[in-house]
Amino acid sequence: MTAFKTSLVWLAAISLLIQVAVAALPFSWFENEGEMPSLAPMIERSQPAVVNIATRSQVRVQDNPLLNDPFFRRFFDLRQQQPRQRSKQSLGSGVIVDAKTGLVLTNNHVIHRADEITVSLTDGRTFQAELVGTDPATDVALIKIPAEQLTALPLADSSQLRVGDFVVAIGNPFGLGQTVTSGIVSALGRSGLGIEGYENFIQTDASINPGNSGGALVNLRGELVGINTAIFSPGQKAGNIGIGFAIPSNMVKQIADQLLEFGEVHRAHLGVQMQDITPELAQAFDIEFGQGAVVTRIIPGSAAEESGLAVGDIVTAIDGDKLSNADSLRNRIGLLMVGQTITLDIVRDGEKKILKATVKVTPKQAVQGEVHPKLSGATFGDIEPSSPYYGKIKGIMVYSVKRGSPAAFAGLRKGDIITSANKQPVDSLEAFRPYAYTDGKQLLLNITRNQRALFLVLR
């Protein structure tokens, strides 16, 4: 065969390959035959459903603690002054998911403690939003705008996502205005990152930067597959390095449905404390290393107790899905609907068993009555499953701290874990009560906050 004929054969083969590749491209890449492949048609349909969110809030300026000391003020003849405040602004993104009612999904951290939420549409209209509800444990928030002629994004089934699928991130990075970036799904089911209380992230290399939070991660059909939430940024680097995380659409829908109905999430509760399987424990229990989590405590009256689960059981799967560690079990339970019945695959004394449990609402208790004056305005209870410290340390959790209350001025924060009082371990509300009712005597608290330990003196 001559060189000329050989060249013709290769050209024909290459032409055939190009035709096959073009035919396999997603339908949304083309508007009309003959056009260059482009995401523009899909993006043009999707962009009106993604909004920019601006918030404004008043933040109290922290004074020197000495100014709160009556003796110090009297000695220097200082009058009690009103707390100083400053205005704080932030930017983020959101996704319209119901055009008729004006429902917008975003991240909780985008609108957290906002006194004013302004939503801007791509057509230039702006609206003041109403807060429907938030779930800090998953960083999901639902707001509502009084607008007509809106465009909503349809929700995809995120369980059908595969690593390697093309995705597009739409949002408002650095307040520049609506921006589109593309990439692929890099990983699925990311957890244990310590970003949120419950984690089941989609990882993507589509550029996500500050301001993208709450924006849309869409597939090539223009369907919402996730809400962009966070980036991995070692060394306090401000921008994207190709590792971004989004909350899957199935998880978002489940949370949004509860926020719409109740204004909050009624989180499921199994009633166990778990521990990761170590090589030593795996050998002691005669199981494969990394298989499930071991039960270390059963809460009386809980779903776990009613199911027959016992201390020492190894939980290996929920509804047939294998568990890798204690965090994976906590995530699975926390994302269930209250009243849902699940099957637990366990190993007990070397034998495999299957138990059924109907999960209940997470119990909340609060210290009531006349407590230490500096604890006024705060509520306490057992560590919630939504806390990253659940099952890892012993203590009680600060459920809430009322703004401007003595507890707030004393330095307590929502989510704090109190591990000791007056140098004595505190592992339950019952253990904390004697210290809470001290008639104003000095109280020394050891607190864990943001993975750091600190002491707080209440006088």
User: CA-CA distance, 394 to 453, in Å (whole number)?
Assistant: 13
User: CA-CA distance, 288 to 221, in Å (whole number)?
Assistant: 42
DSSP character for 138?
A: T
* 105 in Cβ contact with 252 (< 8 Å): yes
Main-chain dihedrals φ then ψ at residue 293, nearest 5 degrees = -140, 150
* 259 in Cβ contact with 228 (< 8 Å): no
User: CA-CA distance, 435 to 446, in Å (whole number)?
Assistant: 13
Q: Using alpha carbons only, what angle is made at residue 320 by residues 316 and 323, rounded to the nearest 5 degrees?
A: 35
Cα-Cα end-to-end distance for the chain = 97
DSSP line for 57-93:
EEEEPPPPGGGG-HHHHHHTTPPP-PPPEEEEEEEEE
Q: What tokens were used for 372?
A: 């230490």
Residues designated as active site: 109, 139, 213
Strand 293-298 and strand 321-322: the pairing is unpaired
Q: CB 417: neighbour CB atoms within 10 A?
A: 22
Residue 75's Cβ-side half-sphere holds a number of Cα atoms within 13 Å equal to 7
